[in-house]
Amino acid sequence: MSKPFLLLQLRPEADARAGELVSMRRATGLGERLVARSADLEVLPPDLADRSAGVVIGGSPYSVSDDESTKGDPQRLAERQLAALAERALERELPVFFTCYGIGVLTLVLGGTVDRSHPEEASAVENRLTEAGRADPLASVLSDRFTALTGHKESAPVPPPGAVLLATNDASPVQLYRAGSVVASQFHPEPTTEDFGQRAVIYQRHGYFPEGGLETVLAMLAQATVTEPQRLLRRFVELADA
């Protein structure tokens, strides 16, 4: 029997968590072979990644750059467990794909910096592959220029030590990088524009766009075509299963 793939979720909102699982199962092509666990609500076995074909880290409204005094127990648990996973994956060369909030945790583990110097409104943004990205076994499934969905308060201003930058854009330069068997994206690889619109409704008061700006975001999404990032997830599954 094939090993399951694991989705680690970190969204406190039940509707956002459920929607993300649907999006991830569709985008990866794994269906129910993709099993979800909650990294912010349950203590996970330290060898969980070893027993999985591959691991994908979902998104979150948490930010690693939040003031420590404002972080609740779920966020602290999530950060501890994602950091431990990153260290284990790097040491054992396990296939792990960190997205959104997860790229911040991985960047800190690698000794990099995460700050709020390059914030991103909820939007569809054109990204560019780097030369390394065009040669990378995962990132090379993307076009040299591709549109991705993003919206974050924090990011890495430069790639962390030991990481190879695979994709960039003008607003937030670290969009996709690799560190050994581990990859991380600032943008969201899994949602369709419709999925992202539903997520915008849930997070409309979380500061990702101006108060009252939901209709503007939804109108932008209605005009956007975003398909290529999901190819990353399909390729990640292919490589992990090989």
Q: What is the CATH number of the domain that holds 93?
A: 3.40.50.880
pTM for this model (two decimals): 0.96
**Nearest-angstrom CA–CA distance, 217 and 213:** 6
Kindly list the strands in the beta sheet with 145-152, ordered across the sheet, starting from the edge strand earlier in the chain.
34-38, 5-9, 54-57, 96-99, 182-185, 176-179, 164-168, 120-129, 145-152
Structural domain that includes position 209? 5-241
Q: What does each of the 242 residues of the chain score in pLDDT, given as a tens digit?
A: 689 999 999 999 999 999 999 999 999 999 999 999 999 999 999 999 999 999 999 999 999 999 999 999 999 999 999 999 999 999 999 999 999 999 999 999 999 999 999 988 889 999 999 999 999 999 999 999 999 999 989 999 999 999 999 999 999 999 999 999 999 999 999 999 999 999 999 999 888 888 899 999 999 999 999 999 999 999 999 999 98
Q: Are strands 120-129 and 145-152 parallel, antiparallel or unpaired?
A: antiparallel
Which are the contacts of 26, defined by CB distance < 8 A and separation ≥ 6?
190
Domain count, the chain: 1
Distances (CA, A) of 171 to 25, 62, 149, 150: 29, 21, 13, 11
